Chain A
Amino acid sequence: MADKRIFEIYRYDPDTDAKPRMQTYEVELDGSERMLLDALMKLKKQDDSISFRRSCREGVCGSDAMNINGKNGLACLTNMLTLPQKVTLRPLPGLPVVRDLIVDMSQFFKQYHSIKPYIVNETPPPEKERLQSQEDREELNGLYECILCACCSTSCPSFWWNPDKFVGPAGLLAAYRFIADSRDQVKEERLENLEDPYRLFRCHTIMNCVDVCPKGLNPTKAIGKIKEMLVKRA
């Protein structure tokens, strides 16, 4: 049951390489490597210099996002059976490369931080929990589950062009998560913060974000709701 695969991997170590290159590896899988991450770990045994992030290996920490045969995804949730014999791995597009498959995510997190990702409620809290109806809580489903892997934002052409000005799908999904929370008191300021030709309106509903989200979330829908609220406000 030999399963021989060809891996073509983007390699770049600024310490030693003048420019990036693609390196080809051959690896024989024995069936125990269910996911791409398992195969990558096996490959790293052959060449310990291949660099990538990884942690939970079950799709909840968001570390191992990469570009897999042209599409962003998590290595730990990509089943080897779904991949062809040749697998091409590149770093997430549009962000500076630190080394190999590791990108500098500062810009991505800067945008996330820019939407004030926390509940603001200045009413002194009760002794117990703030009550929230089941319907109000359900508004948060499909929003709070984001793992900040950046698959969406780095698949978005608008983010590629304006990573410093466009909040991007992940940041906007988070923005709507707080707008939609019945416990938050600063919806107006949140909308204000996004009313800008770039921050929100660079989204042209290309929907790459929806296509790649490993958690099955829908940033485009959340962005649509924010746009709707802004229109109503106007």
Chain B
Amino acid sequence: MAQTIHKYDAVVVGAGGAGMRCSLQLAKAGLRVAVLSKVFPTRSHTVAAQGGIGASLGNMDEDNWHYHFYDTVKGSDWLGDQDAIEFMCREAPKVVYELEHMGMPFDRNPDGTIYQRPFGGHSAKYGEKPVPRACAAADRTGHAMLHTLYQNNVRNKTQFFVEWMALDLIRDSEGDVVGVTALEMETGEVAIFHAKCVLLATGGAGRIFAASTNAFINTGDGLGMAARAGIPLEDMEFWQFHPTGVHNAGVLLTEGCRGEGAILRNKHGERFMERYAPKLKDLAPRDFVSRCMDQEIKEGRGCGPNGDYIALDLTHLGGETIMKRLPSVHEIGKNFANVDVIKEPIPVVPTIHYQMGGVPTNIHGQVVVPKNGTPNSIINGLYAIGEASCVSVHGANRLGTNSLLDLLVFGRAAGNHLIDTALASKSHKPLPANAADYSLSRIDVLDKSSGGEYPQDVANDLRKTMQLHAGVFRTQASMDEGVSKVLAIDERAKHLSLKDKSKIFNTARIEALEVANLMEAAKATMVSAAARKESRGAHTVDDYGDTPEHPLGRNDVEWMKHTLWYSEGNRLDYKPVNLKPLTVESIPPVKRTF
């Protein structure tokens, strides 16, 4: 049966902050753009971001992009590319002002400017003291931003394909990307989207872990699409643990709590971060704070009957500040921990939150891979932005507020670049014959399946395995064991079985297709992690500790390089970190103290 073919200048896969910032740019330029999304746009996971958008507006204290640049490089543990970081930090004020002009309901200062709060790892004067840099709408910044972007897309008549799940990239014989296949969830039909350019903005794969702050939809669909199409994934061993996930619930409590003055305490009530980070204290970067919390728990100073959590204390902030600046935190405390944060501390643990790695790109969002000796050779017709991508501004550890910033800066930049590219190529490259066959055969296998395992049983085993072997606390032996376990699960994932064979909004089928994507993300993570024989940022391995030669276990001579994982044969390759910014001096690596 022939598939329906939709023809557009550009197809954006994903309607979160990055995808919609990009599509807005495209729609405004009058391009024919289709945005595919598994969920209604305002349900995308950007909606759950709480704390703020990092930009050196300097509204409340002296600040400039050089400080922001320095903090981000240091935060990345020198794995971030300094050209991309400079680009992001310089563009930051502009994209925040634009968002304000679009109607974003930012909180305000008495002089009417945008309110900013301090955030982890953001400092003035190169690490001297915390600086308010997070532009915030209460603790609902992501929600306010996502809705504002959706509203402006509505105004500019962007065409959304809501509840369509993208399945596979279509590459022609020259390797150029000429479209995607996608499944309409309501009807179960597969269609082809023929495009001059395809942009992946599908978010992260946080659901490869058992305890995660991430939404159910964060299954790394773009990563799976790229990996199946022979494109490598970069730096997938780096996963951020957010210090303050609600104990036993996984729900996120914003770092903005600590930005507003909340304190982490151990069972003695001690503000232990003072010992570890004398300058930034509770506002040290997330990888650092998470490790300190882990250390406190391991050394027997955790709270609760099992000594297995840390207390986040907001009580001294007072009810008025909490209800004004952190209303959702109050609501979450009530709903998910039976705690009134105005009156008592709330139990928290470091929880998987963010994927630093992704599909490798340059600062225009173009996907780049090694080819004929060049490490960053462009794949025509393919872009990636946001959490799905690795540009790399976050390196081995992202700073809070830099994710929303990343979406805006690179969504806009990719949009602008796409407009030039799409307009330059007058016609579409032809689709290869049988462009949908690969996707159709994947669905056909599920439709004919019987006797195999349920997708969710396999996925749950995967999540447990990843939690155990690629968690906040890593050892070489455990990671090596994790590799063989994940590869064994990968075999099981090839024989999934559905009971539900309906065409209509078949969520069981969607979940099975998601498992294929989770598997690619998990293999990339586990294999890349076991191969990296050092500690850097969020990848902290017990075997590689602090020595004079390798401060905090970081081995710059051998390992200051990006990992590239290829699905075929689980092959690894590496490429150098770009230490050269666009216009300023490079920040040379030093031991990270706060």
Is A98 in contact with B151, judged by CB distance below 8 angstroms? Answer: no
Is A34 in contact with B101, judged by CB distance below 8 angstroms? Answer: no
Cβ of B47 within 8 Å of any chain A Cβ, yes or no, is yes
Given that A49-B499, A56-B45, A98-B186 are known contacts, is A130 also in contact with B100, CB under 8 Å in the complex?
A: yes
| A140–B45 alpha-carbon span in the complex (Å) | 23
Q: Which of these binds chain B: A143-151, A191-199, A201-209, A218-226?
A: A143-151
| A184–B102 alpha-carbon span in the complex (Å) | 10
User: B555: shortest Cβ distance to chain A, in Å?
Assistant: 39
Cβ of A187 within 8 Å of any chain B Cβ, yes or no, is no
Q: Which one of A34, A48, A60, A140 lies within 8 Å of B47 (CB-CB)?
A: A60
Given that A131-B112, A137-B105 are known contacts, is A55 also in contact with B43, CB under 8 Å in the complex?
A: yes
* Chain B neighbourhood of A128, CB < 8 A: 57, 93, 97, 113
Is A56 in contact with B215, judged by CB distance below 8 angstroms? Answer: yes
Q: Which of these binds chain A: B222-230, B281-289, B473-481, B504-512?
A: B504-512
Contact count band on B: 35 or more
Is A63 in contact with B456, judged by CB distance below 8 angstroms? Answer: no
* Chain B neighbourhood of A49, CB < 8 A: 499-500, 502, 508
Could you list some 10 contacts between A and B, CB below 8 A? A45-B454, A48-B498, A55-B215, A56-B48, A58-B251, A62-B43, A102-B505, A132-B112, A133-B108, A137-B107
Query: Which residues in chain A, 156-203, are within 8 Å of chain B measured between CB atoms?
Result: 178, 181, 183-184
Query: Which residues in chain A, 50-103, are within 8 Å of chain B measured between CB atoms?
Result: 51-63, 77, 79, 98-99, 102
Is B503 in contact with A129, judged by CB distance below 8 angstroms? Answer: no
Is B47 in contact with A61, judged by CB distance below 8 angstroms? Answer: yes
User: A211: shortest Cβ distance to chain B, in Å?
Assistant: 18
Is A118 in contact with B108, judged by CB distance below 8 angstroms? Answer: no
Q: Which one of A44, A63, A119, A183 lies within 8 Å of B43 (CB-CB)?
A: A63
* Chain B neighbourhood of A113, CB < 8 A: 154
User: A15: shortest Cβ distance to chain B, in Å?
Assistant: 5
* Chain A neighbourhood of B47, CB < 8 A: 56, 60-61, 147
Which B residues form the contact surface with A (CB < 8 A)? 39-40, 42-45, 47-48, 57, 93, 96-97, 100-103, 105-114, 137, 140, 143-144, 147, 151-152, 154-155, 186, 215-217, 249, 251-252, 328, 331-332, 335-336, 454, 456-457, 498-500, 502-508
Using A130-B100, A131-B111, A147-B143 as known contacts, list a sample of 9 further A-B pairs with CB atoms less than 8 Å apart, ordered by residue number in A.
A47-B499, A55-B217, A60-B47, A60-B328, A61-B39, A63-B40, A118-B103, A129-B57, A131-B112
Contact with B along A97-124 (1 / 0, CB 8 A): 0110010010001000100111101000
| A51–B505 alpha-carbon span in the complex (Å) | 8
Closest 8 CB pairs of A and B: A131-B112, A119-B103, A49-B500, A48-B508, A118-B151, A61-B43, A125-B101, A129-B100
Contact with B along A34-50 (1 / 0, CB 8 A): 10000000001101110
User: B133: shortest Cβ distance to chain A, in Å?
Assistant: 15
Is A55 in contact with B332, judged by CB distance below 8 angstroms? Answer: no
Given that A56-B48, A98-B186, A145-B143 are known contacts, is A118 also in contact with B154, CB under 8 Å in the complex?
A: yes
* Chain B neighbourhood of A8, CB < 8 A: none
Cβ of A127 within 8 Å of any chain B Cβ, yes or no, is yes
User: A100: shortest Cβ distance to chain B, in Å?
Assistant: 8
Given that A58-B48, A129-B113, A183-B103 are known contacts, is A79 also in contact with B215, CB under 8 Å in the complex?
A: no
Is A129 in contact with B215, judged by CB distance below 8 angstroms? Answer: no
| A128–B135 alpha-carbon span in the complex (Å) | 13
What is the chain B residue whose CB lies nearest that of A106?
Answer: B162
| A49–B457 alpha-carbon span in the complex (Å) | 15
| A105–B112 alpha-carbon span in the complex (Å) | 38
Is B102 in contact with A119, judged by CB distance below 8 angstroms? Answer: yes
Is B505 in contact with A99, judged by CB distance below 8 angstroms? Answer: yes
Given that A56-B47, A60-B48, A128-B97 are known contacts, is A145 also in contact with B112, CB under 8 Å in the complex?
A: no
| A97–B251 alpha-carbon span in the complex (Å) | 31
Given that A137-B107, A137-B108 are known contacts, is A51 also in contact with B43, CB under 8 Å in the complex?
A: no
Is B215 in contact with A117, judged by CB distance below 8 angstroms? Answer: no
Cβ of A14 within 8 Å of any chain B Cβ, yes or no, is yes
Is A51 in contact with B507, judged by CB distance below 8 angstroms? Answer: yes
What is the chain B residue whose CB lies nearest that of A38?
Answer: B249
| A189–B186 alpha-carbon span in the complex (Å) | 36
* Chain A neighbourhood of B97, CB < 8 A: 125, 127-129
* Chain B neighbourhood of A63, CB < 8 A: 39-40, 43
What is the chain B residue whose CB lies nearest that of A131?
Answer: B112
| A98–B184 alpha-carbon span in the complex (Å) | 13
User: B250: shortest Cβ distance to chain A, in Å?
Assistant: 8
* Chain A neighbourhood of B103, CB < 8 A: 118-119, 178, 181, 183-184
